[in-house]
């Protein structure tokens, strides 16, 4: 304990490892999270807030499902497709999940190439991520259409508790909105990358702030979060 | 970002990041209307919040007129009475207090008090205000739509909130929920800014434990709001779906006007859980900034350092954390499992500990201080008294056995008006009188201020103190007309009339305050840069009112906490936060 107090005052607090380092960072001036930019900090805190939104949605859904006196429709039956003469439960959802997880992979690669200032690969990978995302939303639209054709409505369905349709449309709709917003921003940021905005630190149109390749990473944080939320929706809504 | 290697000064580490260029306005529109300057946004927030607050004040007059003189005023019928109650509560809690403390005081004070040039993302901050304004306009629109605003009570409990017996069932409730959703979106944009500014954009030497308690209060409240508003957001979305699409999240099978409704299988209790998971932290979202402001006012105007600064900070953080595990004490009579009541009563009473620490520390700061009975100090003292009063009745209501008979009586109304109505408003007024000279460069008129204070303070007690007694008699809340009952004596009606007259007088006293604000803007005494002799950073700006970017050419360097008053051996009776220690030359501060 006495050794560190004798350390040279020039030592950056961020270099102390472990819990003591965290304590030193929070006790220091200027920044509580050393080496974290404003934008990244803001995205993390926003995602924390958004976590509470999705948690409330999922908890409400679980409350409805556990307290209903009418049987809950069996998800593996409802979300089954007939492919090639075979009846495969949850096949569409499995493909959707695979696509969304894959998009996280391309996003992570885009972040990597962004920091290497490889404009072409970064932009291409971001567009690939956006394409995966758009495919996901498209398949969700297909799933919605199929269920609506089969008679599922927010206020009722042919198989059991009316809250099934209500929760399904609300939760997947809210998540799909997140994915859609992500796709739009992915395309916008990919365009900036392609044009070389971040190489010349060009100012944003509205914000008049300089742009950096870090924006690709911040975009990635949001995208991975949307993915992670889907994993929970998949587990709690489809697999339960 | 380019690192600018400022030299280390007296143990203050060098700057970690270079300065970020600000957006500079080019025209009148971008300077005063679509401004990205946190100070302008703060004034916009404050004016909007106070304007809508005046509407809520008039609504409270309508309610008091009806309660004091039932049957006299033909323009207040039972439906309108419920609508007035609902809108009064909703506006005061969310659109006035939350917006004013966080959007108003937060925007103005956070960058100045932590030594930043602006919020971290000024453009998002500007959007925050405009979405808030939109939310307010949607709220105001409910007064003009067919059927008028919703009369469901500010808690908007289903099933009655969306059934046809409740006024505003057509349009009012839909617009109310839309307005809440907009408010939450707007607030989130601002709130992220406040939190990141405090965490990541402090000036050199400004450690978290050197921040004024005002910043601590606003910061903690904002973090809480970012975690509590999601529950209200979700509840609003689901209630809106129940109303518009006919889902049954919250709606059980029930009969309405002799007809079986289309609803079935939903849980009204679920809404209450979601609502109060937001609703209880909300109480502290308006209380914590008030705690912070009061701490600073008391310290400055008693010329004494705040007693137990560290404990004050930890008490704020502890209250913020605990407030997330007490929500169901609003639901003792809702039909919960009784064991829940036991748990939530316990956590509720535990909150009294950090709160009591704060009250003792305020009193110990005053003890043997050089108390200047300025207008801000008067409001600060009034805050302590009112808050203790409301807090004590909170201990009554936190206990299940005491709460059950007192539920839905005027006692509850008296309690929450004392603790989260009058007390935070006292902090708002104290803060406005204290910081108005920094915002405008002129002092508010002292004589008018004292008149405003005494009428408001005594008047507030005249309204709400007798209300405790009415509640103990068993007089119910939210009743348009009590009528003849065996348990409410005739004298109670006289008391009601007395309270109504007091409410009218207090309301008119606020017009004096408004006049004072406008009159002092032009005719007030020149304030100078630091009229109160305060040590915290916002009073040390090179210009008053602070210019765009706050600090002129160089950011300040902070060498001490914000409470160095009456320091033995010091030259003046206070030492500003950015004054270097004796014997240290300041030229080292610049490259």
How far away is chain B from the Cα of A105, in angstroms, using its nearest Cα? 28
Got the DSSP string for B414-431?
HHHHIIIIIHHHHHHHHH
User: If DSSP codes are grouped into helix, strand and coil, which group holds residue B574?
Assistant: strand
Do the chains contact at A154 and B246, CB–CB below 8 Å?
Answer: yes
Angle between helices B78-90 and B38-68 (to 10 degrees): 150
User: What is the pLDDT, as a whole number, of residue B14?
Assistant: 87
Closest-approach residue (CA) in chain A for B250: A64
Do the chains contact at A27 and B196, CB–CB below 8 Å?
Answer: no
Q: Which of A42-46, A230-234, B459-463, B569-573 has the lowest mean pLDDT?
A: B569-573
Is pLDDT of B507 > 80?
A: yes
Encoding tokens for residue B153?
A: 């009570």
Helix (H) or strand (E) holding A22: helix A18-27
**pLDDT interval class at B13 (50, 70, 90):** confident
Which burial class, exposed, middle or buried, applies to B487 when counting CB atoms under 10 A from its CB (0-12, 13-18, 19+)?
A: exposed
Is pLDDT of B207 > 90?
A: yes
Q: Which residue matches tokens 């059927």?
A: B147
CA dist., res. B383 & res. B389, Å (int): 10
User: What is the pLDDT, as a whole number, of residue B489?
Assistant: 87
CA dist., res. B53 & res. B22, Å (int): 33
Average of per-residue pLDDT across B324-337? 92
Nearest to B247 among A49, A52, A166 (CB): A166
Do the chains contact at B195 and A45, CB–CB below 8 Å?
Answer: yes
User: What is the pLDDT, as a whole number, of residue A56?
Assistant: 97
CA dist., res. A209 & res. A228, Å (int): 30
Do the chains contact at A45 and B245, CB–CB below 8 Å?
Answer: no
User: What is the pLDDT, as a whole number, of residue B11?
Assistant: 76
Q: Among residues of chain A, what percentage have pLDDT more than 70?
A: 94
Average of per-residue pLDDT across B205-212? 95
Number of CB atoms found within 10 A of residue B497's CB: 16
Contacts of A129 (CB under 8 A, 6+ apart): A103, A106, A107, A110, A186, A223
- Residue of A14, A25, A42, A156 for testing the chain B interface, max B β-carbons within 10 Å: A42
Is pLDDT of A204 > 90?
A: no
**pLDDT interval class at B355 (50, 70, 90):** very high
**pLDDT interval class at B584 (50, 70, 90):** low
User: What is the pLDDT, as a whole number, of residue B591?
Assistant: 37
B12, B555 contact by CB (below 8 A): no
- String of b and e for A97-134 (b: at least 16 CB within 10 Å)? bebbebbbebbebbbbbbeeeebeebbbbbbbbbbbbb
Is pLDDT of B150 > 90?
A: yes
What are the Cα distances from residue B459, in Å, to B351, B422, B496? 29, 11, 14
- Residue of B8, B181, B196 for testing the chain A interface, max A β-carbons within 10 Å: B196
Is pLDDT of A7 > 50?
A: no
User: What is the pLDDT, as a whole number, of residue B583?
Assistant: 58
CA dist., res. B344 & res. B327, Å (int): 7
The model's pLDDT over B30-63, given as tens digits with 9 standing for 90+, comes to 888 999 999 999 999 999 999 999 999 999 999 9
A127, A110 contact by CB (below 8 A): no
**Torsion over CA: A149, A154, A156, A157 (sign):** positive
Number of CB atoms found within 10 A of residue B534's CB: 25
Do the chains contact at A208 and B237, CB–CB below 8 Å?
Answer: no
Q: Which chain B residues are within 8 Å of A210, Cβ to Cβ?
A: 21
Do the chains contact at A41 and B199, CB–CB below 8 Å?
Answer: yes
Is pLDDT of B386 > 90?
A: yes
Q: What is the mean pLDDT of chain A?
A: 90
CA dist., res. A60 & res. B236, Å (int): 13
User: What is the pLDDT, as a whole number, of residue B587?
Assistant: 43
Do the chains contact at B248 and A206, CB–CB below 8 Å?
Answer: no
Strand partners, A203: A210
Contacts of B424 (CB under 8 A, 6+ apart): B97, B101, B286, B287, B289, B290
- Of 3.40.630.10, 3.90.10.10, 1.20.120.80, 3.40.50.300, the CATH number of A37-239 is 1.20.120.80
**Can you list the domains of chain B with their CATH numbers?**
38-251+263-584 (1.20.210.10)
Portions of chain A given CATH number 1.20.120.80: 37-239
**pLDDT interval class at B7 (50, 70, 90):** low
Q: Which of A131-145, B71-85, B289-303 has the lowest mean pLDDT?
A: B71-85
Is pLDDT of A3 > 80?
A: no
The model's pLDDT over B61-92, given as tens digits with 9 standing for 90+, comes to 999 999 999 989 988 999 999 999 999 999 99
Is pLDDT of A10 > 70?
A: no
Do the chains contact at A48 and B209, CB–CB below 8 Å?
Answer: no
Is pLDDT of A1 > 80?
A: no
Cis peptide before B409 (omega within 30 of 0): no
Q: Which chain A residues are within 8 Å of B246, Cβ to Cβ?
A: 154-155
Please state the ipTM of this predicted complex.
0.93
Q: Which chain B residues are within 8 Å of A41, Cβ to Cβ?
A: 196, 199-200
A122, A114 contact by CB (below 8 A): yes
Average of per-residue pLDDT across A208-235? 94
CA dist., res. A34 & res. A12, Å (int): 9
Please state whether the predicted TM-score (pTM) of the whole model is above 0.90.
yes
Is pLDDT of B115 > 90?
A: yes
Average of per-residue pLDDT across B525-547? 93
The residue length of chain B stands at 591
How far away is chain A from the Cα of B364, in angstroms, using its nearest Cα? 27
């Amino acid at each position: 304990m006495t050794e560190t107090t004798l350390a040279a005052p020039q030592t950056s607090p961020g270099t102390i490892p472990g819990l003591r380092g965290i304590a030193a960072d929070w006790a220091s001036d200027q920044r509580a999270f050393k080496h974290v930019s404003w934008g990244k900090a803001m995205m993390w805190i926003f995602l924390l807030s958004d976590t509470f939104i999705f948690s409330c949605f999922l908890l409400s859904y679980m409350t409805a499902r556990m307290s209903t006196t009418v049987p809950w429709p069996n998800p593996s039956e409802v979300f089954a497709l007939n492919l090639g003469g075979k009846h495969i439960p949850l096949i569409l959802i499995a493909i959707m999940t695979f696509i969304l997880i894959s998009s996280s992979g391309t996003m992570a690669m885009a972040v990597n190439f962004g920091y290497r200032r490889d404009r072409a690969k970064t932009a291409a990978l971001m567009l690939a991520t956006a394409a995966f995302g758009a495919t996901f939303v498209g398949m969700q639209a297909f799933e919605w259409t199929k269920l609506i054709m089969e008679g599922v409505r927010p206020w009722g369905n042919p198989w059991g508790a009316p809250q099934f349709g209500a929760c399904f449309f609300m939760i997947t709709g809210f998540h799909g909105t997140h994915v859609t917003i992500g796709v739009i921003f992915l395309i916008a940021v990919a365009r900036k990358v392609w044009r070389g905005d971040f190489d010349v630190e060009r100012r944003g149109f509205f914000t008049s702030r300089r742009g950096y390749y870090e924006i690709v990473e911040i975009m990635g944080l949001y995208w991975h979060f949307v993915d992670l939320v889907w994993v929970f929706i998949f587990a709690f809504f489809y697999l339960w | 970002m380019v690192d600018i290697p400022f030299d280390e000064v007296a143990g203050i580490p060098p700057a970690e990041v270079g300065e970020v260029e600000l957006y500079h306005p080019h025209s009148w529109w971008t300077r005063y209307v679509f401004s990205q300057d946190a100070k302008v946004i703060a004034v916009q927030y404050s004016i909007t919040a106070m304007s809508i607050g005046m509407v809520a004040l008039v609504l409270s007059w309508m309610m008091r007129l009806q309660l004091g003189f039932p049957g006299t005023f033909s323009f207040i019928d039972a439906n309108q009475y419920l609508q007035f109650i609902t809108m009064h509560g909703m506006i005061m809690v969310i659109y006035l207090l939350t917006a004013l403390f966080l959007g108003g005081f937060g925007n103005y004070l956070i960058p100045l008090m932590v030594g930043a040039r602006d919020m971290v993302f000024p453009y998002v901050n500007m959007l925050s205000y405009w979405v808030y304004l939109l939310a307010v306009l949607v709220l105001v629109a409910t007064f003009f739509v067919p059927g008028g605003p919703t009369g469901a009570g500010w808690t908007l409990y289903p099933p009655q909130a969306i059934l046809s017996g409740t006024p505003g069932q057509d349009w009012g409730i839909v617009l109310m929920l839309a307005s809440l959703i907009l408010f939450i979106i707007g607030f989130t944009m601002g709130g992220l800014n406040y939190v990141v500014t405090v965490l990541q954009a402090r000036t050199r030497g400004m450690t978290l434990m050197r921040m004024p308690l005002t910043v601590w209060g606003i910061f903690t409240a904002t973090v809480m709001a970012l975690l509590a508003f999601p529950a209200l957001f979700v509840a609003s979305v689901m209630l809106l779906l129940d109303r518009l699409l006919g889902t049954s999240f919250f709606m059980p099978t029930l009969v309405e006007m002799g007809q079986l409704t289309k609803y079935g299988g939903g849980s009204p209790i679920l809404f209450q859980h979601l609502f109060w998971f937001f609703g209880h932290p909300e109480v502290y979202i308006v209380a914590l900034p008030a705690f912070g402001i009061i701490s600073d006012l008391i310290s400055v105007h008693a010329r004494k350092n705040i007693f137990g600064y560290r404990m004050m900070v930890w008490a704020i953080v502890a209250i913020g954390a605990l407030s997330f595990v007490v929500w169901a004490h609003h639901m003792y009579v809702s039909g919960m499992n009784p064991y829940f009541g036991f748990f939530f009563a316990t956590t509720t009473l535990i909150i009294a500990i950090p709160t009591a620490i704060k009250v003792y520390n305020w009193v110990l700061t005053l003890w043997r201080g050089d108390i200047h009975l300025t207008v801000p100090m008067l409001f600060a003292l009034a805050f302590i008294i009112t808050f203790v009063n409301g807090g004590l009745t909170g201990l009554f209501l936190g206990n299940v056995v005491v709460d059950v008979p007192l539920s839905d009586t005027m006692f509850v109304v008296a309690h929450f008006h004392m603790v989260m109505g009058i007390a935070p408003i006292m902090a708002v007024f104290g803060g406005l009188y204290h910081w108005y000279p920094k915002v405008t460069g002129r002092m508010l008129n002292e004589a008018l201020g004292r008149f405003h204070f005494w009428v408001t303070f005594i008047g507030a007690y005249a309204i709400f103190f007798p209300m405790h007694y009415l509640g103990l008699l068993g007089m119910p809340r939210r009743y348009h007309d009590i009528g003849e009952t065996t348990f409410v004596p005739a004298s109670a009606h006289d008391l009601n009339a007395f309270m109504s007259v007091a409410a009218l007088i207090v309301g008119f006293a606020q017009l004096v305050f408004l006049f004072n604000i406008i009159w002092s803007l032009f005719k007030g005494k020149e304030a100078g840069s630091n009229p109160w002799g305060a040590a915290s950073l916002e009073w040390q700006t090179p210009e008053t009112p602070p210019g765009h970017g706050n600090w002129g050419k160089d950011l300040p360097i902070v060498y001490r906490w914000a409470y160095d008053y009456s320091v033995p051996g010091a030259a003046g009776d206070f030492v500003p936060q950015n004054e270097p220690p004796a014997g240290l030359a300041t030229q080292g501060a610049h490259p």
